[in-house]
Amino acid sequence: MANNPPPFAILLVILLFLYLTPDPPSPGESHRQQHAVAHERGALEALNNSTYGDLHLGKEEDARPLNLTGFRPEHGFRWELLESAQDKARDQARYALGETADGLIEGGSDQYPLLYHNVTGFVEGEWRRTGAYDGPHVNLSAITPHGTYTSEDWKRNVTATSGDVRIHFREKENGEAWNTSVRRISARATIGEETSFGTWWEMILYGIHFVDFGEIILTTTSEKFDGIFGLPHLALSNHTFSLGRDLLNKTLNETIEKQKEGILEDSAPWSSTMEGEDLFSVPHCEYVFYLQQHPVPLNLPGGAAPGNSLVLHHLEEELRFPHRPFLPKTPDMTMSMVAFSPDCGFTIESKGPPDLAPQEGKHLKGPKTEAYAFVARRHVLLFTVIIAAQLLLLLRQMKEASTPSTRSRISFYTIAILALGDGFALLGFALFGMQIESTTMLLLATAYVAFLSVIFFGMGFLKEIWTVQSTERSREERQQAANSPQAPNSPETTQPETLPLPVTARQAINSGATPIIIPSDQDIDAEIAENQDGDANANNQGSPRRGFGSVYLRFYLLLFGLVFLSLHATTWPASVQSVYSSTLTFAYMSFLVPQIYRNVMRNCRKALRWDFVIGQSILRLLPFAYLYAYKGNILLIEPDLNFLAVLCGWVWLQVCALLSQEHLGPRFFVRDTWVPPAYDYHPVLRADEEGASLPSGAKVLAGEEAGMTTTTKAGESRDKSKKIFDCAICMQDLEVPVIASAADADGAGASGLSGGLLARRAYMVTPCRHIFHSVCLEGWMRYRLQCPICREVLPPL
Ligand SMILES: *[C@@H]1O[C@H](CO)[C@@H](O)[C@H](O)[C@H]1NC(C)=O
Ligand SMILES: *[C@@H]1O[C@H](CO)[C@@H](O)[C@H](O)[C@H]1NC(C)=O
Ligand SMILES: *[C@@H]1O[C@H](CO)[C@@H](O)[C@H](O)[C@H]1NC(C)=O
Ligand SMILES: *[C@@H]1O[C@H](CO)[C@@H](O)[C@H](O)[C@H]1NC(C)=O
Ligand SMILES: *[C@@H]1O[C@H](CO)[C@@H](O)[C@H](O)[C@H]1NC(C)=O
Ligand SMILES: *[C@@H]1O[C@H](CO)[C@@H](O)[C@H](O)[C@H]1NC(C)=O
Ligand SMILES: *[C@@H]1O[C@H](CO)[C@@H](O)[C@H](O)[C@H]1NC(C)=O
Ligand SMILES: *[C@@H]1O[C@H](CO)[C@@H](O)[C@H](O)[C@H]1NC(C)=O
Ligand SMILES: *[C@@H]1O[C@H](CO)[C@@H](O)[C@H](O)[C@H]1NC(C)=O
Ligand SMILES: *[C@@H]1O[C@H](CO)[C@@H](O)[C@H](O)[C@H]1NC(C)=O
């Protein structure tokens, strides 16, 4: 029953389906669509009718101004910036391409440099602000008279003087010839500002890529700026203008036709806002980007000879459709950038030579998507190895904790956090893998198998622990219920872990009157629970199982909730994001804390194998070490060694706490009053009054009088501070340090306690006053929580 998918999973699928199914267009929607199409048609016609130079406003009186939103003089955009930006872009082209740059831009040269023709991938680097305008604002009410905006605050306004930028390019195939010289391109740019708050802006840009000489012009488009329709006017020459206009004349018309026919439902197909961002209509600064690709540093004979672009073409083909298992050497793409905002009036440039020394920046660099995916695939494979190692450790731990008594020591929450972490990592990873198109199915499949196995085994183990511990919980509840009415007269206050007398047939057995054969390796708790289940009480049967159903539910709700929250968190401001991710990471890396807590509460010294604790700590830290210490990590996270050090320190502290709990006692660092009293298996033994109150000796000595043993007497006479007992499990002698009498116990106890702490670990005294070697009794108690001599129930260790 519990293994079936819980009903909410089906609900989730239905909800997702409903969410993803597009709504039928409402009448208002189709009206808006028609309006948008009419506007776009007008804009395209204006582009068709225009000639190069129309944008250079106000120079000649007879110039026909462009009839496009944002380009008309009365809209007050700062087109004065255009000229300096274009000059800068030309300089960058000359620096990158050398002598032939001008000829290439004007279309008079066929010395094509060695450039990637398909720049799908990303580049990143640093920018600096080089120009700012502090005149009056753009008159918004003149551009959009209908009050489109609800806010006066402009987004994407760059105020810092430097920061970093990352641009993801995407070039789709539209059936053009491979040697086409101009192509559409779209990009997602992220501009981060170096402010204390860590602001960053994200936008989508559309533009054209002049493949032959590596120039890319991108622009944002919005209701106050017809960027894509005016784009050819931003080109550097009449030649590139005509190339761009011809391309856009064709492709924009295609999109508009699709929109008109209802194939494309987006009323703003070139919108610069990210999906889900336009909840509030706020004005954004518009951007125009010029990017110049630098020649690929491949040492081919002849440099920019016409045939060499063919070589690079074959390299790119091999990258996309590999015939060999190993990737050919693929240098990163390098691009210089200059961008300006025509309405907010600032200019930013990439840092790098020749204006700045190469140490300060090397423009924007980044891999082609195929090279990136290749590296990503390898790293993900390493991650799979880590997952496999984790699984191995988990399996060993599961084998070790095969008895209910050992299982009940393990903290449910520790294992739950680990499983949650695995689920989170792999789910997030699968979503991430879907984003990189070139990620192979193999990759996703590996992730999926790992996901299944971890979730499967992890959940299986959780279920076992839960089942064992739920009987423990119900016992506690019963005990509380039993204790509350008759609390004062309970003699059990000295020994609260003692079982209340069971109401079932076990009662007779526990009285000790009958010899018992313990049929299995289970402890009494579990057997009692089993028996009670077996009693077929209608309200009791299968309750742990049913209980685990709700645990399943909560686990997956939490997992999916976390994943969705984290997905949402990617749109938050950088500082909030980092607080969120640090909190999450810290909560995850605190996975040993519940175990430490459980050890304290149950007075249990050791629950998990050491290889499990150490191995899991290292394996769980490894991905963070990769993300925070390795610069080329696939998530593109900036290295942060301090955070990593804090994280490692925190895990180290937890491991140390567990280590000292094993050797110094689980409660050595908490006060006794904070925790429920627990039975102390390692008491200080006092030999006062002929052992009358000697906890374990009393019985043994009494036994001696009855002629059962004689060892004690001999030991006693030899050394007053030592006594020798018999361990009933291994039949060997057990030498126990004893404090002479109650009178000088205070003095001797104070000095002997610290030294005696470890000595006392060597023996264990049961509540029924039998004494054993610790090793022997612990081994015994792994299987049954019963005194080997008198079959009294023992409190769990
Ligand atoms: C500009 O275009 C709009 C429609 O897009 C049109 O109504 C207006 O008359 C045009 N203005 C000029 C000066 O052509
Ligand atoms: C474009 O030019 C044609 C003639 O070439 C003219 O009829 C039309 O009105 C012009 N459109 C705009 C928007 O200027
Ligand atoms: C744009 O395309 C239309 C037809 O699709 C064509 O008539 C027109 O001449 C083109 N404009 C330019 C400037 O090439
Ligand atoms: C586009 O411009 C050309 C001239 O450049 C003109 O012949 C053609 O009619 C125009 N097309 C449209 C749809 O305005
Ligand atoms: C903005 O434009 C509106 C309408 O075109 C005009 O009434 C208003 O005076 C302008 N405001 C400024 C500050 O120029
Ligand atoms: C560029 O490369 C990407 C990734 O391999 C591919 O999806 C895209 O179709 C390519 N574009 C062109 C125009 O070849
Ligand atoms: C592209 O190559 C084809 C032959 O493969 C050739 O016919 C065409 O002219 C070339 N186009 C350009 C722009 O070089
Ligand atoms: C741009 O080139 C076209 C021909 O392609 C020519 O008719 C036009 O006059 C040129 N414009 C400028 C500003 O040079
Ligand atoms: C747009 O394309 C349609 C057919 O696809 C054609 O009829 C129309 O003239 C084109 N318009 C422009 C402005 O290119
Ligand atoms: C952008 O920020 C600068 C500096 O804070 C400010 O002077 C300018 O008015 C802002 N621009 C807009 C459009 O809000």
Dihedral sign computed on CA atoms, order 331, 635, 274, 281? negative
pLDDT value at residue 656: 94
Burial label, 518 (beta-carbon count in 10 A; 0-12, 13-18, 19+): middle
Higher-pLDDT residue of 404 and 21 is: 404
Q: How confident is the model at residue 7 (pLDDT cuts 50, 70, 90)?
A: low
Residue 720: pLDDT band (50, 70, 90) is low
For residue 61, report the distance from its CA to the centre of ligand 8, in Å.
Answer: 19
Tens-place pLDDT, residues 377-396: 788 788 888 888 888 999 89
CA distances from 519 to 47, 402, 525, 545, 784 (A): 90, 16, 14, 23, 11
Q: Are 414 and 591 in contact (CB under 8 A)?
A: yes
Q: Is the CB of 179 under 6 A from ligand 7?
A: yes
645 falls in which pLDDT band (50, 70, 90)?
Answer: very high
Alpha-carbon dihedral angle through residues 570, 572, 576, 578, given to the nearest 10 degrees:
20
Supply the angle between the helices 524-534 and 441-483 in degrees, to the nearest 10: 90
Percent of the chain with pLDDT over 90: 23
Ligand 4 center to residue 642 CA distance, Å?
A: 62
Higher pLDDT, 292 or 487: 292
**In the structure, how many helices (H) and strands (E) does the chain have?**
23, 13
Ligand 3 centroid distance, CA of 42 (Å): 14
Query: Is 453 a pocket residue for ligand 3 (Cβ < 6 Å)?
Result: no
User: What average pLDDT does this structure show over 160-178?
Assistant: 88
> Residues lining ligand 2, CB < 6 A?
45-46, 49, 67
CB-CB contact of 42 with 308 (8 Å): no
The neighbouring-strand residues paired with 186 are 170, 206
Specify whether the backbone of 299 is left (phi greater than 0), alpha (psi in -120 to 50) or beta. Answer: beta
List ligand 9's pocket residues with C-beta within 6 A.
44, 249, 253, 257
More confident residue, 404 or 147: 404
**Which ligand 6 atom is at minimum distance from the Cα of 319?**
5
Q: Is the CB of 42 under 6 A from ligand 1?
A: yes
Q: Which atom of ligand 3 is nearest to the CA of 253?
A: 5
Contacts of residue 175, defined as CB under 8 A and 6 or more positions apart, other chains included, come to none
pLDDT digits (tens, 9 = 90+) for 321-337: 888 777 777 889 999 99
Ligand 8 pocket test, pick from 52, 106, 242 with the greatest ligand atom count within 8 Å of Cβ, gives: 52
Which range of 228-242, 290-304, 469-483 scores highest in mean pLDDT? It is: 228-242
Pocket of ligand 5 (CB under 6 A): 139, 141-142
- 433-437: long-range pairs with CB below 8 Å, 24+: 433/380, 436/369, 436/372, 436/373, 436/376, 437/369
Tell me how far the alpha carbon of residue 66 lies from the centroid of ligand 1, in angstroms: 10
Q: pLDDT at residue 471 above 50?
A: yes
Between strands 215-219 and 333-341, the pairing is: unpaired
Q: Which atom of ligand 2 is nearest to the CA of 46?
A: 13
Tell me the average pLDDT across 409-417: 90
What confidence score (pLDDT) does residue 514 get? Answer: 39
For the entire predicted model, the pTM comes to 0.75
Q: How many CB atoms lie within 10 A of CB 661?
A: 21
Q: Does the pLDDT at position 584 exceed 50?
A: yes
Distances (CA, A) of 277 to 186, 271, 770: 18, 11, 71
Residue with tokens 């095969």: 402
Determine the distance separating the centroid of ligand 6 and the alpha carbon of 173, expressed in angstroms: 6
Q: How far is CA 110 from CA 102, 156, 237, 607, in A?
A: 12, 39, 16, 74
The confidence score (pLDDT) of residue 613 equals 94
**Among 87-91, 436-440, 537-541, which stretch is predicted with the lowest mean pLDDT?**
537-541
The mean pLDDT of the chain is 77
Please name which of 266, 282, 224, 298 lies closest in space to residue 75, comparing C-alpha atoms: 224
pLDDT of residue 128: 93
Q: 33, 267 in Cβ contact below 8 A? A: yes
Other beta carbons within 10 angstroms of residue 602's beta carbon come to: 21
Domains of the chain: 29-296+331-367 (no CATH), 373-477+544-674 (no CATH), 679-704+711-797 (3.30.40.10)
Residues 6 or more apart whose CB falls under 8 angstroms from that of 49 comprise none
How would residue 218 be classed by pLDDT, with cut points 50, 70 and 90?
A: very high
Residue nearest to atom 13 of ligand 3 (CA): 48
Q: Ligand 8 pocket: which residues have CB below 6 Å? A: 51-53, 238, 242
Longest dimension (CA), the chain: 128
Which residue did the predictor score with more confidence, 579 or 304?
579
Going by pLDDT thresholds of 50, 70 and 90, the confidence category of residue 669 is confident
Confidence grade of residue 704 (pLDDT, cut at 50, 70, 90): very low
- 695 confidence band (pLDDT: 50, 70, 90): very low
Residue nearest to atom 5 of ligand 1 (CA): 42
pLDDT score recorded for residue 790: 81
- Residue to probe by mutation, ligand 4, list 41, 44, 48, 249, most atoms within 8 Å of CB: 48
Q: Give me the sign of the Cα torsion angle 631, 632, 634, 636.
A: positive
pLDDT at position 423 is 85
User: Ligand 6 mean position to 90 CA, how many Å?
Assistant: 27
Q: Distance, CA 238 to ligand 6 centroid (Å)?
A: 28
pLDDT at 167: 95
Relative to beta strand 771-773, strand 763-765 is antiparallel
- Select, from the ranges 259-268, 556-565, 611-620, 626-635, the one with the highest average predicted confidence (pLDDT): 611-620
Statement: residue 261 has pLDDT above 90: no
Ligand 1 proximity of 67 Cβ (cutoff 6 Å): yes
Prior bond of 24 cis (ω within 30°): no
Instruction: Give residue 718's pLDDT.
Output: 47
Choose one of 41, 45, 229, 249 to mutate for the ligand 3 pocket test, by most ligand atoms within 8 angstroms of C-beta. Answer: 249
CB-ligand 3 contact for 245 (6 Å cutoff): yes
pLDDT of the residue at 745: 45
Mark out the alpha helices in 21-115 (DSSP H runs): 27-49, 80-97, 101-106
pLDDT > 60? residue 487 = no
105: left (phi over 0), alpha (psi -120 to 50) or beta: alpha
Confidence at residue 466, expressed as pLDDT on a 0 to 100 scale: 87
Q: 147 in the Ramachandran plot: left (φ > 0), alpha (ψ -120 to 50) or beta?
A: left
Is ligand 3 within 6 A of the CB of residue 242?
A: no
pLDDT at residue 756 in the model: 65
Give the number of C-alpha atoms closer than 13 A to the C-alpha of residue 630, restricted to the C-beta side: 11
pLDDT exceeds 50 at position 508: no
Q: Is 124 exposed, middle or buried (0-12, 13-18, 19+ CB in 10 A)?
A: middle
- pLDDT average, residue stretch 446-461: 75
Least confident of 7-11, 630-634, 640-644: 7-11
Q: What is the Cα–Cα distance from 228 to 218, expressed in whole angstroms? A: 8
User: Is 139's C-beta closer than 6 angstroms to any atom of ligand 7?
Assistant: no
Confirm or reject: Cβ of 45 under 6 Å from ligand 4.
Answer: yes
CB atoms within 10 A of CB 268: 15
- Ligand 10 center to residue 223 CA distance, Å? 20
Whether pLDDT at 25 is above 80: no
DSSP structural state of residue 786: B
Tell me the range of 68-82, 182-196, 569-583 where mean pLDDT is highest.
Answer: 182-196
Nearest CA-CA partner of 636 in 287, 121, 196: 121
Q: What is the mean pLDDT of residues 146-159?
A: 79
Mutate which of 60, 62, 64, 238 for ligand 8? The one with the most ligand atoms within 8 Å of its CB, which is 238
Between 511 and 97, the higher pLDDT residue: 97
For tokens 């003095």, the residue is 747
- Judged against a pLDDT cut of 90, whether residue 649 lies above it is answered with yes
> What is the pLDDT, as a whole number, of residue 318?
87
Substitution candidate for ligand 5 out of 139, 146, 343 with most atoms within 8 A of CB: 139
Pairing assessment for the beta strands 121-132 and 346-350 based on DSSP bridges: antiparallel
**Ligand 8 centroid distance, CA of 238 (Å):** 6
Among protein residues, the one whose CA lies closest to atom 3 of ligand 10: 159
Centre of ligand 6 to C-alpha 320, Å, is: 8
Rg (CA), the chain: 38
**pLDDT surpasses 80 at 455:** no
Least confident of 332-336, 622-626, 696-700, 727-731: 696-700
Of 208-222, 413-427, 471-485, 594-608, the one with minimum mean pLDDT is 471-485
> What is the position in ligand 10's atom list of the atom closest to the CA of 154?
14
Cα 623 to Cα 484, 610, 618, 629, 630, distances in angstroms: 50, 21, 9, 10, 10
Instruction: From 763, 764, 761, select the one nearest 795 (Cα to Cα).
Output: 764
Q: Which H, E and C letters describe 523-568, residue by residue?
A: CHHHHHHHHHHHCCCCCCCCHHHHHHHHHHHHHHHHHHHHHHHHHH
Q: Is the CB of 406 under 6 A from ligand 6?
A: no
Ligand nearest the Cα of residue 176 is 6
Higher pLDDT: 595 or 532? It is 595
Q: What is the CA(283)–ligand 10 centre distance, in A?
A: 12
Q: How confident is the model at residue 340 (pLDDT cuts 50, 70, 90)?
A: very high
Residue scoring higher pLDDT (641 or 707): 641
Q: How far apart are CA 792 and CA 786, in angstroms?
A: 5
Q: In angstroms, what is the span from residue 440 Cα to ligand 3's centroid?
A: 41
CA–CA separation, 231 vs 208, rounded Å?
8
As a whole number, mean pLDDT of residues 713-742 equals 67
1 in contact with ligand 7, CB cutoff 6 A = no
Q: How far is the CA of 156 from the centre of ligand 10 (A)?
A: 10
At residue 288, the pLDDT reads 95
Distances in whole angstroms, Cα of residue 274 to Cα of each of 203, 279, 478, 667: 6, 11, 57, 54
Q: Provide mean pLDDT across the span 446-453.
A: 69
* Mean pLDDT, residues 642-665 taken together: 92
Q: What is the distance in A from the centroid of ligand 8 to the CA of 49?
A: 13
Distance of alpha carbon 736 from alpha carbon 771, whole angstroms: 10
pLDDT at 368 over 80: yes
CA angle 719, 724, 727 (to 5 degrees): 170
**pLDDT of 229 over the 70 cut:** yes
Residue 345 region by backbone torsions, left for phi larger than 0, else alpha for psi between -120 and 50, else beta: left
